[in-house]
Structure formats: C-alpha cells, structure tokens
C-alpha cells in the first residue's frame, strides 16, 4: 500500500508539516527542575472538588519549581459543552486563589488552549501516522462494531477493535478510495503494533511501579468529524504545550498504555505521570467514591455558597494531598500554606477520605488565625452574594459588626476562640446582636420566680460602664445573696448547700439578653448592643416571666 498516497487522499487539506509545529511551539525556556503542569477540564459546567484537588497539586508543583501551570479546555465533545463553562472554571478556581500562568482566556505562547481550535495540529500528526502506515480509515458502522463486541463477549475475548476483528485494517487503497467517493463516513484508527501478551513496568510519580500490558487496540484517534479523541489530543497537546508532569485522576491508568504507545509512535518524549487517588467518603459505614448525583459536597459551589473560606478548603485538601502536611500545619497554623514544601512523592496512593467534620475543624483553626478585618470583608462579600436581604441591617454600621467579629474571635485575648466555621454559620451566630433579628424563645434553667428575681436584681445594679471584672462581681454578689455558690469548688464539695452555682445565675442573664446559652463574654456583648437595648431585653424577659 502506498501510505503517502493514502495520507494525501485523507488529508488533502493539511498544509502544515511537523516541522512547522516544532518551530511554532519551541521547547520552553525554563530551569531544568521546573515542572509544567496543567488542568484540562471538559467545559461541562461542573467543576468539582476532584478538579480542585488536582489543580491544587498542579499549582503547588509548578509554583514551587518555578514552572508553569496552565489551563487547557478539552472541548472535543461538542455535546457536553455548556455555555459559560470556561468562565465557571476560572471563577471557581479563582475563588480558591488558584491562578494560571497561561491558558484558555488568559493567553500564552502555546495556544490556542481550546482543543477545537487545534484541529490542524492534530490532523498534521494524524497524517504523519498514516504516512508511516500507523493509522488507517475505518468505515465500520455502529452496528458492525456492536456485532463484533457480542462475538468477543461470547468468546470471552477482550472487546474492542483489534487483530482479526479489525476489519478495515487491511482495506486496499482502491477500496478506501471507493468508499470515500461514495461518501461513507469514517474514523481514523491507530494501527497498533502492540501485543497484549507483553507486560511492562511503568513508574508513576504517585503509585510507583505499575505493571501494565501493551495496547493492542486500534483505537480511534480522529472521530468522524475530524476531531481527535482524548487519547490523541492528550499526547499531541501535552507534547507541544511542554507539559512535564501530567497530574490526573487514577481512572486514566487503564488507558495509559495507549498514551505511552502514542508518545512512542509519534517520537515524542513522554511527560511524567502522577495519577491521583479518588476522593472517597464513608457512607453508612462503607467507603465509596464521591458522586456528582449523591454528594452536594462534590461541587465547588457548595463551599462557596456556604461561605467556607478558600484557604480553609485548600488547607483541608492539602491534608488529603500530602501525608506530612497536617503535622506541618499543626506546628505552623499561622504560616501561609504556600510555605509548605509540597511534594508529589508524599501524595496518597489510595482513595483520599473526604470528611466534612475535619474540614470544619480545620476551617475553625484557619479562621481563628486570620485578622478580624479579613474575616469581616470575607463575610461581607458572602452576605452581599448569598444573604443580600440582610446586608443593609448587618452592614449598616461596619464598626458594629467588626466589634462582634472581634469578640467572637476573642481578638486581643491570649487564646483566640474558634467559633467560626463558614460565613453561613457565622451569619446564624450573629442574630442576637441585631434588634431586628432578635426573637428569643426563652429557655431558662431555673424556675420562673428565681429567674425573674435574678434579672430584677441584675437590672438594678447594671451599669454599661462596668468592666468585665466589676460586671462579674455584681453577678457573684447576686448569686451569693440568692444562695448560689460563687466558687465551683465550694459547690462541688457540697452541692446540697446551694441552689446552684454562679454560672447558673449568669446563664439566666445570658438567655435574657441573647436568647441562647452559649456566647462569648456577655459583658462585652451588652456593651456592643448598648445600654438601652440590654435593659430592654432584660425587661422583656422579666415581663415574659411575670
Ligand atoms: N479532560 C480530561 C478530564 O476532564 C482531562 C484528563 C487529564 O487531565 O488529562 O478528565
């Protein structure tokens, strides 16, 4: 067969040569240890935690090695494309502070970064394969292919287009010309020289040595519309875009032999691969993959809408990505996570267990270490976007809400409080500070008469100017007058001698003023809401008890 002739018939539109592309995309001028990484999402509009997980690893690896992190859009499947999906990727990852050095919508010297715009490049190299006898057109219909699959299943053979089943492998040039002139649609297949009996070992950056079989399938490299499959586009793009390390989900290990084979047949040096573990969760005691359908926490919008701080989510993901990160984080909770020495070799080999409780825990620590102003502006942005009806009330006076945040975080005290998990939860905590939202359902621990007496006595001595100590001394006096122990020790030694403990007395005032039993320092809360409001709330509670 005259392969050159076949190549000219199939690719009469191709005018460029491999040399043109070698010149267009020269090797990157980077230090030897620099890693070039990328994420390559399909524009389906759903960008999930798994994408962020991989992107975070890519970004860290590129940044720490003075390399490049870029965005390529794998839009070869027109059916799955969603308008605005690329903006959504940039928005979502931007929210988490991940910035690309180059890529779709950003630009760079290795573009276009949308695969659909790179058709000429793929076709030029597909033509090369045809010229070398390594690719051929296949006219098989869907029906023919499924008939073959059935036979293979019956025979308990590997399914797919291989060996004796690869009907179009040996078509003559005349037959091909005839079919084309008849307008028969065709795909372009690889003529795989591989033998599935041959095993070889491959070194994955995360999984270590993996033994795989050679690929013997004549896989499709260009679809009927001339657009490449993932396999072919991956190899061409990662070569010409100069990727040095492909970080992708472990679901791609199964087709890795195809990719390695394509690199070899095209004469390209292959990048390193790091196949990341799936994100798992425990569901009813069983470990399973996070799923788009069942787990809202897989979507990045979930974290954004609940107002998880991006640093908290990233910090949590880092604990899943690098086994030694948590130890570092606990020892350095105030350091930016960019200072951690991320390493591919410390990435987990088996399913990373996603646990929202742990995320909450980390989030508390991350937020407690932030500046009050940063927490304030983060919260403000969240309210604007997700609770805009409350914005005018909460942000009517910024100094007021800032005081609340400072108190809730215990800014200025030796040990910060860890009250805050996410903006939505913060929002829920702040209700009692605002007259408009204060709707208490009083739950007093002591009987009505005693509760009322406590409140009456307190209101008689209350003075907004009191500092914490004076304030508390007044509460202690009331406690002791009414037969409550002032010292916990005394109460514990002899509980029957007392009506209770000073904390019980303070709780009555707390419930009257805030409606809840657990708050930061009550004296300061009363200072924040002001004298009139404090007095009014206590009076309302007394009324309620009368
Ligand atoms: N488009 C592929 C995906 O979304 C990319 C895999 C890769 O990173 O190579 O899964």
Residue 281 in contact with ligand 1 by CB distance below 6 A: no
pLDDT for the residue numbered 455: 98
Ligand 1 pocket: which of 36, 38, 42 to mutate (most atoms within 8 A of CB): 42
Dihedral (CA of 392, 398, 402, 403) sign: negative
pLDDT (mean) for 167-183: 96
pLDDT for the residue numbered 80: 78
pLDDT beyond 80 at 156? yes
Atom of ligand 1 nearest to the CA of 54: 8
Longest CA span, the chain: 110
pLDDT for the residue numbered 88: 86
Ligand 1 pocket: which of 69, 252, 259 to mutate (most atoms within 8 A of CB): 252
pLDDT beyond 80 at 351? no
pLDDT beyond 90 at 369? yes
Ligand 1 centre distance from Cα of residue 247 (Å) = 9
pLDDT (mean) for 314-328: 93
pLDDT for the residue numbered 44: 83
pLDDT digit string (tens) for 93-122? Answer: 889 989 999 999 999 999 999 999 999 999
pLDDT for the residue numbered 332: 94
Ligand 1 centre distance from Cα of residue 248 (Å) = 6
- Record the tokens describing residue 67, joined without a space: 């390399």
Domain residue ranges of the chain, discontinuous segments joined by +: 3-15+120-276, 288-368, 372-431, 448-545
Ligand 1 centre distance from Cα of residue 74 (Å) = 7
Residue 51 in contact with ligand 1 by CB distance below 6 A: no
pLDDT beyond 90 at 77? no
Distance CA 534, CA 529 (A): 7
Residue 156 burial (CB count, 10 A): 6
Confidence of residue 217 (pLDDT cuts 50, 70, 90): very high
Atom of ligand 1 nearest to the CA of 252: 6
Return contacts of 524-531, CB within 8 angstroms, 24+ apart.
524/407, 524/468, 525/407, 525/432, 525/433, 526/462, 526/464, 527/464, 528/400, 528/403, 528/404, 528/407, 528/433, 529/433, 529/435, 530/464, 531/464
pLDDT for the residue numbered 292: 86
Ligand 1 centre distance from Cα of residue 244 (Å) = 16
Confidence of residue 222 (pLDDT cuts 50, 70, 90): very high
Q: How many residues comprise the chain?
A: 546
pLDDT beyond 80 at 503? yes
pLDDT for the residue numbered 104: 94
Q: Which of 103, 125, 123 is nearest to 114 (CA)?
A: 103
Dihedral (CA of 110, 113, 249, 328) sign: positive
H-only helix segments in 355-486 = 356-368, 372-386, 391-394, 398-409, 423-429, 448-461, 468-481
Q: Which of 106, 87, 96 is nearest to 52 (CA)?
A: 96
Ligand 1 centre distance from Cα of residue 123 (Å) = 21
Least trusted range by pLDDT, from 176-180, 270-274, 446-450, 487-491: 487-491
In three state form, how does the secondary structure of 91-148 look?
A: HHHHHCCCCCCEECCCECCCCCCEHHHHHHHHHHHHHHHHHCCCEEEECCCHHHHHHH
Residue 40 in contact with ligand 1 by CB distance below 6 A: yes
Residue 102 in contact with ligand 1 by CB distance below 6 A: no
Going by the DSSP 8-state scheme, the letter that residue 330 receives in this structure is: H
pLDDT for the residue numbered 86: 86
Ligand 1 centre distance from Cα of residue 230 (Å) = 8
Residue 234 in contact with ligand 1 by CB distance below 6 A: yes
Residue 42 in contact with ligand 1 by CB distance below 6 A: yes
Ligand 1 centre distance from Cα of residue 68 (Å) = 18
Confidence of residue 234 (pLDDT cuts 50, 70, 90): very high
The structure tokens 């690869």 sit at 166
Report phi then psi at 189, rounded to 5.
Answer: -110, 150
Ligand 1 centre distance from Cα of residue 81 (Å) = 14
* Inter-residue contact 284 to 291 (CB < 8 Å): no
pLDDT digit string (tens) for 307-316? Answer: 999 999 999 9
Return the residue whose CA atom lies nearest to atom 1 of ligand 1.
Answer: 41
Ligand 1 centre distance from Cα of residue 39 (Å) = 7
- Record the tokens describing residue 247, joined without a space: 């970080």
Distance CA 441, CA 451 (A): 15
Atom of ligand 1 nearest to the CA of 51: 4
Which top CATH class is 288-368?
A: mainly alpha
Ligand 1 centre distance from Cα of residue 66 (Å) = 23
Ligand 1 centre distance from Cα of residue 32 (Å) = 26
Residue 74 in contact with ligand 1 by CB distance below 6 A: yes
* Inter-residue contact 70 to 102 (CB < 8 Å): yes
pLDDT for the residue numbered 457: 98
pTM of the entire predicted model: 0.88
Atom of ligand 1 nearest to the CA of 74: 1
More confident residue, 349 or 356: 356
More confident residue, 297 or 126: 126
Atom of ligand 1 nearest to the CA of 248: 8
Atom of ligand 1 nearest to the CA of 38: 8
pLDDT for the residue numbered 520: 93
pLDDT for the residue numbered 82: 80
Return the residue whose CA atom lies nearest to atom 8 of ligand 1.
Answer: 248
pLDDT digit string (tens) for 415-474? Answer: 999 999 999 999 999 999 999 999 998 999 999 999 999 999 999 999 999 999 999 999
In three state form, how does the secondary structure of 454-515 look?
A: HHHHHHHHCCCCCCHHHHHHHHHHHHHHCCEECCHHHHHHCHHHCCEEHHHHHHHHHHHHHC
pLDDT beyond 90 at 162? yes
Average model confidence (pLDDT) across the chain: 95
Return the residue whose CA atom lies nearest to atom 3 of ligand 1.
Answer: 41
pLDDT (mean) for 84-90: 86
Ligand 1 pocket: which of 39, 41, 255, 276 to mutate (most atoms within 8 A of CB): 41
pLDDT for the residue numbered 60: 96
Return the residue whose CA atom lies nearest to atom 4 of ligand 1.
Answer: 41
Atom of ligand 1 nearest to the CA of 247: 8
Which top CATH class is 3-15+120-276?
A: alpha beta
pLDDT for the residue numbered 251: 93
Ligand 1 centre distance from Cα of residue 41 (Å) = 5
Residue 41 in contact with ligand 1 by CB distance below 6 A: yes
pLDDT beyond 90 at 247? yes
pLDDT beyond 80 at 515? yes
Confidence of residue 11 (pLDDT cuts 50, 70, 90): very high
Confidence of residue 90 (pLDDT cuts 50, 70, 90): confident
* Inter-residue contact 101 to 108 (CB < 8 Å): yes
The structure tokens 């790179």 sit at 118
Q: Are strands 68-71 and 36-39 parallel, antiparallel or unpaired?
A: parallel
- Record: fold of 448-545: Arc Repressor Mutant, subunit A (1.10.10)
Q: Which of 470, 489, 473 is nearest to 481 (CA)?
A: 473
Confidence of residue 46 (pLDDT cuts 50, 70, 90): confident
Least trusted range by pLDDT, from 280-294, 368-382, 471-485: 280-294
Residue 67 in contact with ligand 1 by CB distance below 6 A: no
pLDDT beyond 80 at 45? no
pLDDT for the residue numbered 81: 77
pLDDT digit string (tens) for 283-297? Answer: 999 999 998 889 999
More confident residue, 542 or 44: 542
Atom of ligand 1 nearest to the CA of 238: 9
Report phi then psi at 126, rounded to 5.
Answer: -65, -40
């Amino acid at each position: 067969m005259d392969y050159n002739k076949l190549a000219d018939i199939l690719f009469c539109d191709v005018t460029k040569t491999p040399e043109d592309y070698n010149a267009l995309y020269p090797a990157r001028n980077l230090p030897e240890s620099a890693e070039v990484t990328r994420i390559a999402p399909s524009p389906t509009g759903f960008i999930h935690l798994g994408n962020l997980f991989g992107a975070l690893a890519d970004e860290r690896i590129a940044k720490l090695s003075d390399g490049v992190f870029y965005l390529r859009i794998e839009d070869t499947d027109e059916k799955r494309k969603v308008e605005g999906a690329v903006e959504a990727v940039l928005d979502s990852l931007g929210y988490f502070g991940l910035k690309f050095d180059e890529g779709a919508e950003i630009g760079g010297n290795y573009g276009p970064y949308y695969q659909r715009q790179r058709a000429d490049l793929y076709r030029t190299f597909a033509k090369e394969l045809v010229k070398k006898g390594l690719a051929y057109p296949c006219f098989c219909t869907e029906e023919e292919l499924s008939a073959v699959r059935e036979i293979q299943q019956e025979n308990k053979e590997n399914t797919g287009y291989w060996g004796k089943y690869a009907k179009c492998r040996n078509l003559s040039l005349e037959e091909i010309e005839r079919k084309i002139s008849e307008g028969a649609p065709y795909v372009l297949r690889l003529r795989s020289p591989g033998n599935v009996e041959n095993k070889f070992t491959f070194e994955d950056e995360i999984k270590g040595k993996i033994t795989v079989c050679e690929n013997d399938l004549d896989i499709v490299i260009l679809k009927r519309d001339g657009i490449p499959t993932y396999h072919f586009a991956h190899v061409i793009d990662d070569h010409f875009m100069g990727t040095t390390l492909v970080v992708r989900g472990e679901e791609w290990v199964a087709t890795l032999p195809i990719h390695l084979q394509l690199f070899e047949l095209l004469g390209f040096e292959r990048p390193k691969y790091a196949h990341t573990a799936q994100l798992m969760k425990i569901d009813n005691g069983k470990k399973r993959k996070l799923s788009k359908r069942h787990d809202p926490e897989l979507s990045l919008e979930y974290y954004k809408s609940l107002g998880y701080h991006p640093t908290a989510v990233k910090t949590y993901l880092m604990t899943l990505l690098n086994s030694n990160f948590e130890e570092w984080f606990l020892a350095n909770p105030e350091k930016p996570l960019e200072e951690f020495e991320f390493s591919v070799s410390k990435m987990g080999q088996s399913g990373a267990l996603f646990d929202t409780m742990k995320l909450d825990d980390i989030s508390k620590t991350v937020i407690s270490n932030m500046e009050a102003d940063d927490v304030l502006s983060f919260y403000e942005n969240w309210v604007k976007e997700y609770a805009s009806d409350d914005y005018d009330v909460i942000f009517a006076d910024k100094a007021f809400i800032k005081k609340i945040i400072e108190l809730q975080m215990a800014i200025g005290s030796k040990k910060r409080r860890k009250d805050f998990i996410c903006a939505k939860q913060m929002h829920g905590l702040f209700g009692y500070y605002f007259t408009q939202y204060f709707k208490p359902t009083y739950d007093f621990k002591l009987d009505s008469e005693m509760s009322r007496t406590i409140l009456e006595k307190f209101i008689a001595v209350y003075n907004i100017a009191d500092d914490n100590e004076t304030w508390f001394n007044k509460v202690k006096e009331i406690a002791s007058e009414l037969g409550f122990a002032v010292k916990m020790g005394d109460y514990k030694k002899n509980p029957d001698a007392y009506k209770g403990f000073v904390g019980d007395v303070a709780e009555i005032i707390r419930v009257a003023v805030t409606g809840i039993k657990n708050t930061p320092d009550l004296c300061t809360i009363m200072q924040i809401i002001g004298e009139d409001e404090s007095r009014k709330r206590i009076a309302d509670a007394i009324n309620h008890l009368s």
